[in-house]
Amino acid sequence: MLQYAAILERDTNGTVRVEFPDVPEAHTFGDDEGEALLHAVDALETALGMYIDDRREIPRPSAVRHGMRLITLPALTEMKIQLYNTMRTAGVGKAELARRLNCHLPQIDRLLDLTHSSRMEQLEAAFRALNKQLDVRVTEAVR
């Protein structure tokens, strides 16, 4: 599970602001804490998507400090980030991955788009093309 620490603070206008120390580009707000937390995942995915678009390294989550909240990214988003990180580590660009998968570049763009609902089979094929495989586990929920 990929989880980032978030700071929730009451803003001067009464809304609740959310900021991520590890991803300064990600910030959002809500009328109350519940609404702010609902927007937090979207803000985080949007900012991390910008890192991918700019071909930057995805920041690693740091430890949670007192008063912070954990924001858990969806499993599909985490798989896409893992694919991006694996490509960077292997020195494989989008064009090369498209060649290995015998597909067009826009299909690779969609695989790396954190807001696109890619199919699991597509991600599995991409990892295989990078000599990797997915390892899915189910654990007890932390409350």
Starting at the earlier edge strand, list the strands of the sheet with 27-30.
27-30, 16-19, 3-10, 69-72
Element counts in the chain: helices (H) and strands (E): 5, 4
Q: Which residue ranges make up each domain of the chain?
A: 3-72, 75-129
The string over 8-29, giving b where at least 16 C-beta atoms fall within 10 Å of a residue's C-beta and e elsewhere, is: beeeeeebbbbbbbebeebbbb
SS3 72: strand
Q: What confidence tier does 136 reach under pLDDT thresholds 50, 70, 90?
A: confident
**Mean pLDDT, residues 7-24 taken together:** 94
Q: Does the model's pTM come out above 0.85?
A: yes
CATH number of 3-72: 3.30.160.250
The CA distance from 100 to 86, in Å, is: 15
Residue the block writes with tokens 């991803």: 23
* CA 58 centroid distance within chain: 8
Q: What confidence tier does 143 reach under pLDDT thresholds 50, 70, 90?
A: low
**Mean pLDDT, residues 123-133 taken together:** 97
Higher-confidence residue: 136 or 45?
45
Q: What digits encode the pLDDT tens for the residues 87-101?
A: 999 999 999 999 999
Higher-confidence residue: 78 or 134?
78
The CA distance from 52 to 92, in Å, is: 14
**Is the pLDDT confidence value at 109 over 70?**
yes
